[in-house]
Structures are given as C-alpha cells and as structure tokens.
C-alpha cells in the first residue's frame, strides 16, 4: 500500500473506494488486536473519512476530529500506513490526532467536545486572512452532551462562518431518525432545490406584510419540526440528515452540497460502531477501547486479574446495599470507572450524565447538601475539566462529596491527554479538602470505607489504571485514620516516603537498597492533605529523605512535604523522585517509566548517586 493515499481518492471509482475501505478496516483490526486501542468508533467512521478526503483537500480545509480516537482511517490515508503498526507504542504514532506527528492533524485531541469551538476559531482566522477553505469538523454524538459544544454553536449560528460539522450518530446518545418520513425529508433538505427554496422564501417574506406571511412561516416551521435537526436549525446552523454513514456515494454527494452552501451546516450521519467486525458491531462499551485480543474469537489476550476499578465497584456496591443514602455519578464512563453494575442495580441512585463532568460534580454538591453521600467516579484527566465546580460548588461550602479518582498516574498508551498527573496539585490547593491514597487493592477498600464513614467535608482518593505496583498481602491493610501515616518497615538514616502507588515504587527501591546493605525506613504517607503530624518525627530522625508518588514534582507530594518542613522549621535537604514538568507521551507503562527515570533501576541509581554526593553523612549499613 502506498504511504500517501488521500490525494488519490478523488480519482477513484466507487468500487475502488469500497476496496480501500475494506483494506483500511483490515489494517485497523490487525493493529488494534495486537497493540490495543480504540476500535468500534473508528471502524464505524471509515467511509465517512474516505468521503471527507474525496470532497475536501484537508490542507485547505483542515479536518478537526473531536476526541480523535475515530481518526485512525485519517492517519492511514495521510502518510502513516506503514507506520501504523507502531500505534500507541513508545516512540510510535499516537492513538489520537497530534500535529507533532503530521501537519495534517490540525489539533491534538484526547478529551471530547472541543472540535466545534476549535472550528469557530479557525473559521475566524480564515475570514480575517481572506483565504479559501473552511473547517471540517467531525464530532461523535456522545460529545454533544458537553456544554462547550453549545457555547460554540451559539456563536457559530450568530456569525454564520462557513463550516461543515459532521455529526457521527453511532447509537450512543443522539435522537433516532423518525422512520421513512424523516429519511425522505432529509433527502429533500440536502437537495439544492430545497436550499434555494428556503433562501427565496426568506427574501420573499422580508418584503411582505406580516398579515400575508403566516401560512408561509408555518410551512417552514412545520418542515423543521418533523426533522431531527430542529435544535440546530434554531441555533442558526443548517441541518442535513440523517445520512447513511456507510454509503460513500451518498456521503460524497451530501458533502459536496454542504460545501456549496458556504455557511454553517451540520450533516447528521448514522454509522454502526464496529462496522465490518461482527463481534464488535453495535453500541457495546467494551469494544470502545480494547487491549490486545484474538480477532477470531474477540477474547482478550491479557491475563485477567482484579483491578482497582473492580475493587472500587464491588466495595461501593456492598456499601450501597446497606445504605440507601449512598448515590453516585460518572461522566460517560460507567464501565471504565466501575459504576456500571451500580447503575444497573440502582438506576435511581447512580447516574451516567454523559460527557458533562461539570454537571456531574455540581449535581452531586446539591445531593450532599441534602444529606446524601455522593461518590463522583471520574478519571483523573477528565476530573480536571470540572475544576471550577470543585472549587465553587463543593469546596466553598465544604460539602462532603467523595471523589473517586481512577486512572491516576501514568496511564501509558493513551498519552499526554490522558496521563493522570495533575490531580494532587490541583486538589490540594483547595481549602478543606482531605486527600488520601491507598497503596494496594486491600487498602483501596479501606479508603472507600473511610470516605463513606468519616468524611463530613470534601475528600478525594486516587488509584491507578490496571494494577497497583504493590501486590496485596505484602503488608497488612489497616484502617485509614485522619492525619495518620503508617510505617511499613523501620530502618535508619534513609527515609523512603511513598504516597498511593508511590508506596509500591518505594517498596521495590527499598528491596534493592537492602541488597546493597542499606537499611531504609519505608513510610506510607496515606494523607497528603492534611499531612500527618507524626511525619515531623520521621523527617527529623532521618538524614536522607526521598519522596515517591505518581504525580508531577511541581505541586506534588514533595512540594507539600517541603511546605510542611518549612512550617516546622526543619532545615534539611529532601529529594522528590516524582515526575519532572513535561507532558508525558504515549507508550507502554514500562517504557514510559524508563524514559522518565522512575523505573526501579533508575530510582536506585539516583538515590545512590545522591547519597554519595552528600559528604556530610554516610548511611549506616545493616
């Protein structure tokens, strides 16, 4: 297969295009089944993306993909066919659009609902520079649940910048078509005769007295009312659809007509998630994002084990069975955060509000005020989208909302848009928040129980994607007590302070240092806000202090301990082994850790080098 295919598509006939679509699907299946990645949405978008490249030159008319996990076909068509086998691998191509990878990827996108806003900004630039072209926005229907979409549509409908918005309806949230009548009217609305009729009607009405326009106005309004696009029409954006998203010929015709209108147009297309791979066809959440799997059977190739997400799900369900005041919410990720079985069992108490993190948080603030015990279950990277609501609606009134932060720390293959590295820094600055973290599955259960029983103010606890570094059973799980840390191993001179998954890192380092004849103290910090008062004693009694957590060094656990030491007038050096300030790119976790220098070997080397450089004191050996 040639590397750059997009510019050849306009010369292809429909049979050649059908063959190309099958080749693209097969390539996606082969690579994703090996590497993991997003699957069902991107399989469903193949014909749409091919049709986009048929009608539009993406250099003059930049393609803006929302979330961009749907854009694998675009990558394959724009010079990355051979490189596609490195998808999501360390040093390979990203699972999302990324301008560093190709100038035909207009914008980086890992979070949803940004595309129309970006399109408005681009349309303004095109207008100001008086150049040809317009933004081509591709947005999934699930992304339409976020408020940013409607903020952008509100301005676009007023300004009337030329833009094509392709709304991919794959049975996730947008309204279904209204049978044969809707299809018939959609075909009418996409026809130039209809558009011409509407334009002529508006001009005619503008010249007539109000008394003569009633019937004409009613006809226009009635036509819109029986199409699914009334909302967008009322916002000032022309609507065409629904269109069969797997009929390339129909898509091409529709896109050409939309291009000729030179105004904001939304084309509503319908696709089947997982199209072409029968096992995954349909609105199945489990096929949205997958690990390596067997193509023939669809079975995962990863060894099954109990994840922190499953522990959270099972523990919260057990508590909810006993206390009907427990409620919970997630933002479009019920399976990902483990809330699915709670929504199934208690649909009146647990909710998926769609991609609306801000609403999720604020709605739970009201429930907390009413005496309920709300749990907000959101990935670390997505929780940051609700930062203002956490401060304004939860923090200021000190309401007991419990934040269960999944995917905290390094998440690996999803890359810089998904790494959960900010939550400690952005939450610990909020007055009144209690922040704590478990070190393994057993203490995660204790953390959930603590949040349920003892928190009368906002609290948050974090846990990693996949597995904790520390296996259960190495240390006995004890209850969380506010402001209390836990010594896991007593030693001398060297103090290893771990927080959350950082305890596992510190433990592995501790074992290696013991092999070198050293005797470190291993401390599970447990709380980072408020910090344990007993921490002062350990800081004073040890010479070399090292801090481990899966977060950025800036604003992280080391920063908190440094502030604590200053408040206690403790003047001595400490070494944070957290992550340096940078956006961490994608790759398998082991490779990313080695690159960042937070794998066990690198951490041990740093500690030994640091100790050897300290001429004032040498640590005692066992």
Q: Supply the residues annotated as catalytic.
A: 273, 357, 385
By CB neighbour count within 10 A (0-12 exposed, 13-18 middle, 19+ buried), where does 296 fall? exposed
Rounded CA gap, 178 and 184, in Å? 10
Among candidates 358, 371, 405, which has minimal Cα distance to 147?
Answer: 358
246 assigned ligand-binding residue: no
The conformation of residue 7, written as its DSSP 8-state character, comes to G
575 assigned ligand-binding residue: no
Side-chain-facing half-sphere of 616: CA atoms under 13 Å:
6
Q: What are phi and psi of 396, to 5 degrees?
A: -60, -40
Rounded CA gap, 38 and 142, in Å? 15
Residue 72's beta-bridge partner residues? none
The conformation of residue 434, written as its DSSP 8-state character, comes to E
Cβ-Cβ contacts under 8 Å for 594 (sequence gap 6 or more): 602
Q: For the chain, give me the number of helices (H) and strands (E)?
A: 24, 19
Rounded CA gap, 84 and 88, in Å? 9
Rounded CA gap, 561 and 559, in Å? 5
529 assigned ligand-binding residue: no
Q: Residue 470: helix, strand or coil by DSSP?
A: coil
Q: What are phi and psi of 329, to 5 degrees?
A: -145, 150
Rounded CA gap, 269 and 138, in Å? 10
The length of the chain, given as a count of residues: 622
Cβ-Cβ contacts under 8 Å for 352 (sequence gap 6 or more): 329, 330, 331, 332, 333, 334, 339, 343
Among candidates 35, 236, 199, 223, which has minimal Cα distance to 116?
Answer: 236
Rounded CA gap, 79 and 612, in Å? 50
110 assigned ligand-binding residue: yes
Please, are residues 486 and 523 in contact by the beta-carbon 8 Å criterion?
yes
277 assigned ligand-binding residue: yes
Buried b (16+ CB within 10 A) or exposed e, 411-439: bbbbbbbbbbbbbbbebbebeebbbbbbb
Residue 103 tokens read as 């100038």
418 assigned ligand-binding residue: no
143 assigned ligand-binding residue: yes
User: Position of tokens 């999803």?
Assistant: 414
Please, are residues 94 and 165 in contact by the beta-carbon 8 Å criterion?
no
Rounded CA gap, 401 and 379, in Å? 16
83 assigned ligand-binding residue: no
288 assigned ligand-binding residue: no
321 assigned ligand-binding residue: no
Q: Which residues are annotated as a binding site for Mg(2+)?
A: 141, 170
Q: Which residues are annotated as a binding site for thiamine diphosphate?
A: 69, 110-112, 142-143, 170, 277, 357
Q: Which residues are annotated as a binding site?
A: 69, 110-112, 141-143, 170, 277, 357
């Amino acid at each position: 297969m040639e590397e750059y295919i997009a510019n050849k598509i306009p010369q292809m006939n429909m049979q050649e295009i059908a063959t190309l679509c099958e080749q693209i699907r097969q390539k996606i299946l082969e690579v994703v089944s090996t590497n993991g990645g997003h699957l069902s949405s991107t399989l469903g978008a193949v014909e749409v993306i091919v049709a986009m490249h048929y009608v539009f030159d993406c250099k003059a008319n930049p393609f803006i993909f929302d979330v961009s996990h749907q854009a694998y076909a675009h990558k394959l068509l724009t010079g990355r066919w051979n490189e596609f086998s490195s998808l999501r691998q360390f040093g390979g191509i990203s699972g999302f659009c990324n301008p560093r990878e190709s100038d035909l990827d207009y914008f980086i996108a890992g979070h949803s609902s940004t595309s129309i806003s970006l399109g408005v900004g681009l349309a303004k630039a095109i207008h100001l520079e008086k150049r040809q072209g317009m933004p081509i926005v591709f947005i999934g229907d699930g992304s339409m649940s976020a408020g940013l979409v409607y903020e952008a549509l509100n301005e676009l409908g007023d300004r009337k910048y030329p833009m094509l918005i392709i709304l991919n309806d794959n049975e996730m949230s947008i309204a279904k078509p209204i049978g044969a009548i809707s299809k018939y009217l959609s075909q009418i609305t996409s026809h130039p005769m209809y558009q011409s009729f509407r334009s002529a009607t508006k001009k005619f009405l503008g010249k007539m007295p109000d008394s003569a326009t009633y019937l004409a106005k009613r006809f226009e309004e009635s036509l819109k009312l029986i199409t699914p696009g009334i909302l967008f029409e009322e916002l000032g954006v022309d609507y065409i659809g629904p269109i069969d998203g797997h009929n390339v010929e129909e898509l091409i015709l529709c896109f050409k007509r939309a291009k000729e209108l030179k105004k904001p147009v939304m084309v509503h297309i319908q696709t089947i998630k997982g199209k072409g791979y029968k096992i995954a066809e349909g609105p199945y959440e489990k096929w949205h994002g997958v690990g390596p799997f067997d193509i023939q059977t669809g079975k995962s190739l990863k060894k099954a084990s109990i994840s922190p997400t499953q522990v959270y799900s099972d523990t919260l369900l057990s508590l909810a069975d006993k206390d009907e005041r427990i409620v919970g919410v997630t933002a479009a990720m019920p399976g990902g955060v483990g809330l699915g079985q709670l929504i199934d069992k208690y649909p009146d108490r647990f909710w998926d509000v769609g991609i609306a993190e801000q609403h999720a948080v604020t709605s739970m603030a009201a429930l907390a005020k009413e005496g309920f015990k709300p749990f907000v279950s959101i990935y670390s990277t997505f929780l940051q989208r609700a930062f203002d609501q956490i401060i304004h609606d939860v923090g200021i009134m000190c309401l007991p909302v419990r934040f269960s932060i999944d995917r905290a720390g390094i998440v690996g293959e999803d890359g810089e848009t998904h790494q959960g590295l900010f939550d400690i820094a952005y939450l610990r600055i909020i007055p009144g928040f209690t922040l704590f973290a478990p070190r393994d599955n057993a203490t995660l259960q204790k953390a959930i129980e603590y949040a349920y029983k003892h928190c009368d103010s906002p609290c948050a606890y974090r846990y990693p994607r996949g597995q904790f570094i520390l296996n259960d059973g190495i240390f006995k799980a004890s209850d969380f007590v506010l402001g209390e840390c836990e010594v896991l191993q007593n030693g001398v001179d060297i103090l290893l302070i771990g927080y959350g998954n950082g305890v596992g890192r510190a433990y592995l380092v501790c074992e290696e240092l013991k092999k070198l004849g050293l005797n470190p103290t291993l401390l599970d910090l447990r709380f980072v806000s408020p910090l344990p008062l007993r921490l002062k004693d350990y800081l004073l009694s040890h010479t070399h202090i090292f801090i481990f957590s899966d977060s950025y060094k800036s604003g992280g656990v080391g920063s908190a301990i440094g502030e604590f030491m200053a408040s206690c007038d403790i003047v001595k050096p400490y070494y944070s082994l957290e992550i340096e300030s940078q956006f961490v790119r994608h790759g398998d976790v082991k490779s990313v850790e080695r690159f960042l220098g937070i794998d066990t070997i690198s951490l041990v080397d740093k500690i030994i080098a640091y100790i050897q450089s300290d001429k004032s004191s040498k640590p005692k050996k066992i």
